[in-house]
Chain A
């Protein structure tokens, strides 16, 4: 059975490292893995999405409406945007951070309030996380992405030790302690 995880956020938030860690962890567990992301124009502050699929044998690299077992959102509005992609039995992990998109900045639109409550009211199984606080607790706001990976890791079949090994192999030495600390804070939440 193929499982589907989406990582969504705003271009420049560090979603690519998150998908790389996830891909490497899945690979070391012996799964067939496909990861799909779009480079280019959308990376300039636009809405970005990465699809990660794994199982015995994966065909399509993309995830569509109603198919994601887990959606990991780095930002609240992006969680709302991608909600239709969540499987009805899926789980959504949402970083509570908000980043205004240009239509909100220019006043052409407003940033919706009460997003988390609306997601829950829609029937989504939501885990809301203040990952910026976790990252600051670990020592650096840039560790937000690894703290979120920690929260998500708990929802997968991949053992804790495999995650630690993967982070150790993927992240540069000088940021390793910071990232391991951030991962643990997310994992033990």
Chain B
């Protein structure tokens, strides 16, 4: 019987039903739920790796040992794993190796909008792209058999609207797959120049075979309707096109987006009056068509930025627009905010109390929200771990500013790629101050365990990284731990530490307020008699505090009794709840 499944959950079910034995991933929206769902299946060993490079290498090791293996990450995570990716293309596989990458057109929860199809082309690794949950399931299983058939890793590309949409899935469990025999084979598995030169020739031959497959495979399909309009599409844009154009167009739906077929596309284009290539982000399929000398319409009529949609397609191709209502209301935006009781708020406000102009080298996580009003305490945010390494670069060229600049990153991000930056600070000597916001969890992606939490993905207890000892081992002798709920004490400690002419690691330690098992105090209250409406408590930027009738008030449904606002009140109007 069909079940309603999230695209990511359907990938996970596909892993089980393809006999995948090992999954190693690093969380990242919109890919996280693949691994979170796979862990429910006993036959699939799952883990959170410290970063994507480790995850893909772990899966590569399992594949070479003869098991079907898998790793998932978001688009930017595949950049971190690009090193093993490009060379595993040469080595190929023993057990099937499938690597999922989830792109985020529209940047719902990402720092850039990169198109990961370029990684398929660059690494010369076959890439499948599903358009709904059923295809997420089917393509995952197909990817394993293609991986073994062509001796290649296979990339599975998802986009946000496929990964995070729910639709019907019919499944068949094919049962377990035996470990393949491991045979020592340095010519294939040891990539140094003499061997790699031979393997590169193999890779080029492999692509020719895959193109021949792509010409006549079950996932590249033509649907003939009216031949006045032809549409070439893959993934979610196929669904948008179908909804916009229905039987008014014929479709060439590409399930394999690398390598692309040649004859199939030529035949389709030759049969239609005009052909649109509908693809979000970069014109990958369009360039392929144009290189074949085919006349197609693509980015001259559609955007390179953001998402496509059914109404956009309908408007451009058919010239039709929806009618809609509009009201005379000025609607304020509702940007995401740090939650009530978020410990990051305490640390940011302590810094702000010292000097609103402190340079904050930011990073990827919930705390990136500290860049928004009213906190506004972030100068840069590039990628995972860059807060630490880029602060070192800044302090090399502006050493006089080192006492008023910090790097801020979370516990999971620090493990991911902050440690190497910290080693560089110790090794190449800047007085850089690195603040780890240790909230005992990976927060933004929805609470995943990591190597600092002492728990594995399934909750089992395990070794925990000792951040203090790690800093000492890296050559950082000054390590300080603060409690961000105590803003005055945190401010005093930071003030002292910033002026020390040595590198420091400052650990701001307090669990995420949303974490299960964290005990909360009763909500605080405002004594309306005492409140003078000065709004000083608003500076802290807590979503639970607002002003009504010129008096401050605390929303009891949001307040978790953290008490960070209390010291801000000069008239002692904020009191503990009972």
Which positions in A face B, CB cutoff 8 Å?
10-12, 23-24, 27, 32-47, 58-62, 64-67, 77-78, 80-81, 83-86, 88, 100-112, 115, 118-119, 121-124, 141
- C-alpha spacing A67/B161, complex, angstroms: 18
Question: Given A44-B338, A47-B334, A102-B543, do A39 and B325 touch, yes or no (CB 8 Å)?
Answer: no
Question: Given A32-B168, A33-B168, A35-B166, do A77 and B328 touch, yes or no (CB 8 Å)?
Answer: no
Question: Given A60-B309, A61-B167, A62-B161, do A102 and B322 touch, yes or no (CB 8 Å)?
Answer: no
Q: Are B332 and A64 in contact (CB under 8 A)?
A: no
Identify B166's interface contact among A34, A62, A101, A112, CB under 8 A: A34
- Lowest 3 A-B CB distances belong to which pairs? A40-B109, A66-B322, A40-B29
Q: Are A86 and B166 in contact (CB under 8 A)?
A: no
**Interface: B43 (CB within 8 A):** no
Interface contacts beyond A39-B30, A62-B309: sample of 8 additional A-B pairs, CB < 8 Å, sorted by A: A34-B132, A41-B336, A66-B323, A77-B334, A85-B324, A103-B335, A105-B538, A122-B325
Instruction: Give the segment of B366-374, B391-399, B413-421 that binds chain A.
Output: B366-374
Q: Are A88 and B336 in contact (CB under 8 A)?
A: no
List residues of chain B with CB within 8 A of the CB of A124.
Answer: 325, 327
23 contacts between A and B (CB under 8 A): A23-B4, A34-B166, A35-B167, A36-B164, A40-B29, A42-B108, A42-B336, A45-B339, A59-B243, A60-B236, A60-B242, A64-B322, A66-B311, A77-B331, A83-B327, A84-B326, A85-B324, A86-B325, A88-B323, A100-B543, A101-B334, A108-B332, A111-B332
**Interface: B319 (CB within 8 A):** no
Q: Are B166 and A23 in contact (CB under 8 A)?
A: yes
Identify B546's interface contact among A46, A78, A83, A100, CB under 8 A: A100
Q: Are A46 and B335 in contact (CB under 8 A)?
A: yes
When C-beta atoms are compared, the residue in chain A nearest to B313 turns out to be A60
Q: Are A103 and B333 in contact (CB under 8 A)?
A: yes
B18 to chain A, nearest CB (A): 24
Q: Are B4 and A33 in contact (CB under 8 A)?
A: yes
What is the total number of residues of chain B having a CB less than 8 Å from a CB of chain A? Answer: 58
**Interface: B239 (CB within 8 A):** yes
- C-alpha spacing A118/B331, complex, angstroms: 12
Q: Are A58 and B29 in contact (CB under 8 A)?
A: no
Question: Given A41-B444, A101-B334, A122-B326, do A108 and B164 touch, yes or no (CB 8 Å)?
Answer: no
Which positions in B face A, CB cutoff 8 Å?
4, 29-30, 32-33, 108-109, 132, 160-161, 164-168, 236, 239-240, 242-244, 309-311, 322-339, 366, 369, 372-374, 444-446, 535, 538, 541, 543, 545-547, 557
Question: Given A11-B336, A36-B166, A124-B325, do A41 and B29 touch, yes or no (CB 8 Å)?
Answer: yes
Q: Are B335 and A101 in contact (CB under 8 A)?
A: yes
Q: Which of A88, A100, A107 has the most CB of B within 10 A?
A: A100
B353 to chain A, nearest CB (A): 18
When C-beta atoms are compared, the residue in chain B nearest to A115 turns out to be B329
When C-beta atoms are compared, the residue in chain B nearest to A61 turns out to be B165
Q: Are A36 and B165 in contact (CB under 8 A)?
A: yes
Q: Are A60 and B324 in contact (CB under 8 A)?
A: no
Q: Are A102 and B372 in contact (CB under 8 A)?
A: yes
Identify B331's interface contact among A62, A65, A85, A112, CB under 8 A: A112
- C-alpha spacing A93/B117, complex, angstroms: 42
- C-alpha spacing A123/B243, complex, angstroms: 27
B207 to chain A, nearest CB (A): 32
When C-beta atoms are compared, the residue in chain B nearest to A92 turns out to be B325
- C-alpha spacing A38/B30, complex, angstroms: 8
List residues of chain A with CB within 8 A of the CB of B332.
Answer: 77, 101, 103-104, 108-112
- C-alpha spacing A46/B167, complex, angstroms: 25
Q: Are B335 and A102 in contact (CB under 8 A)?
A: yes
Question: Given A67-B322, A86-B325, A122-B328, do A102 and B334 touch, yes or no (CB 8 Å)?
Answer: yes
